[in-house]
Amino acid sequence: MAFQSIEVRKLTPCIGAEISGVDLGKPLGNQQFQEVHDALMENLVIFFRDQKMSIEQHKEFGRRFGPLHVHPNAPIAIPEHPEILEIKADENSRHVAGEEWHTDVSCDVEPPMGSILYLTEVPPEGGGDTLFANMYRAYDTLSEPIKEMLKGLTALHDSSKAHYYRVKATDRDDIKFPNAEHPIVRTHPVTGKQSLYVNRGFTLRIPQLRRNESDALLEMLYRHIETPEFQCRFKWQPNSVAFWDNRCVQHHAMFDYFPHRRYGHRVTVCGDKPFLRAS
């Protein structure tokens, strides 16, 4: 794909690209917005270095792609900005969000379209990388009999599985733990490609199967999803941004930097109900 207003450098042939020539602190012109969108569709996750964004600028960039999502049960660190999810770890942290491979908030009936994470502080000695995996490739590399079987199945996703440590939280009056049933194979609404849509973080079981069958099939799919050849790994620097397409990407946050501090904000763009379109 040719780009005129941005520069795109692929991280791997499979997934990920660094974008330059963009100042996310300023409104994007129509052409630049379209090219950033197209780069995301082509590379599934895109990265920006050396950015300076206020909270309002961060939100405005996210809003170019759609309405902003408010997490159903995460703490709201900035009451006047409920769309901002604080990403924070320090010497008091015993775990961090996203330590398992997952798709953001797949428990929603309409899970998010994408997430935009902006880190301003990173560990001084490295660590805290984020891994991203291509779910188109995960589906495409399955055998044909498995593909055919999966097309007739759904999976139950539940927030209480991923956010068990928040079940007794009292810091939000509107706290919720949603659950939803989605097709295991999902059609991307823009590209039309098929991808796998189950993840260790949120997925409970496959209701069409017996429990032992469901557990065995899901474990096989989780291990397949974690294949290194499907992945890229992003090494954070201060003021870096990652923007991933939540409909066809899973990610995993490495927590290998205790007791150092890692800090930033995330905005999440609303999505639509997953569907499978017969090919």
Which CATH number fits the domain that encloses residue 61? 3.60.130.10
C-beta separation of 119 from 278 below 8 A = no
Residue the block writes with tokens 């015993």: 94
Task: Establish whether 102 is a catalytic residue.
Answer: yes
Task: Tell me, yes or no, whether 2 lies in a domain.
Answer: no
Exactly one of 58, 69, 251, 265 is catalytic; name it. 251
Place of tokens 């639509």: 272
Active site annotation includes 182 = no
Q: Which of 104, 108, 158, 245 is catalytic?
A: 104
The whole-number average pLDDT for the span 249-259 is 96
266 catalytically annotated: yes
Q: Once rounded to an integer, what is the mean pLDDT over residues 273-279? A: 91
Q: Which of 162, 140, 127 is nearest to 233 (CA)?
A: 127
Contacts with 70 (C-beta within 8 Å, 6 or more apart), sequence order: 82, 83
- What digits encode the pLDDT tens for the residues 104-120? 999 999 999 999 999 99
In sequence order, what DSSP letters do the residues of the chain get, joined into one string? ---SSSEEEESSSSS-EEEES--TTSPPPHHHHHHHHHHHHHHSEEEE-S----HHHHHHHHHTTSPBP--SSS--SSTT-TTPEEEEE-TT-S--TT-S-B-TTTTSSS--SEEEEEEEE--TTS---EEEEEHHHHHHTS-HHHHHHHTT-EEEEEHHHHTGGGTT--S-TT----EEEEESEEE-TTT--EEE---TTTEEE-TTS-HHHHHHHHHHHHHHHT-GGGEEEE---TTEEEEEETTTEEEEE----TTS-EEEEEEEE----------
Confidence of residue 95 (pLDDT cuts 50, 70, 90): confident
Active-site annotation holder among 102, 137, 182, 252? 102
pLDDT score of 99: 84
Q: Would 211 be classed as within a structural domain?
A: yes
Q: Please report where in the chains the tokens 């409970």 appear, as a residue.
A: 204
> What's the rounded mean pLDDT across residues 198-208?
97
Domain total of the chain:
1
**How far apart, in whole angstroms, are the C-alpha atoms of residue 171 and residue 229?**
41
Residue 279 has pLDDT above 80, yes or no: no
Range of the domain at 171: 7-269
In-domain check, residue 275: no
Please tell me whether the overall predicted TM-score, pTM, comes out greater than 0.85 for this model: yes
238 occurs within a structural domain: yes
Express as a percent the part of the chain with pLDDT over 90: 93
Q: Is residue 274 a part of any domain in this protein?
A: no
Q: Is residue 228 part of a domain?
A: yes
Residue 244 forms beta bridges with which residues? 45, 115
Mean predicted confidence (pLDDT) in 176-186: 97
Q: What is the mean pLDDT of residues 27-49?
A: 97
- 149 close to 208: Cβ distance less than 8 angstroms: no
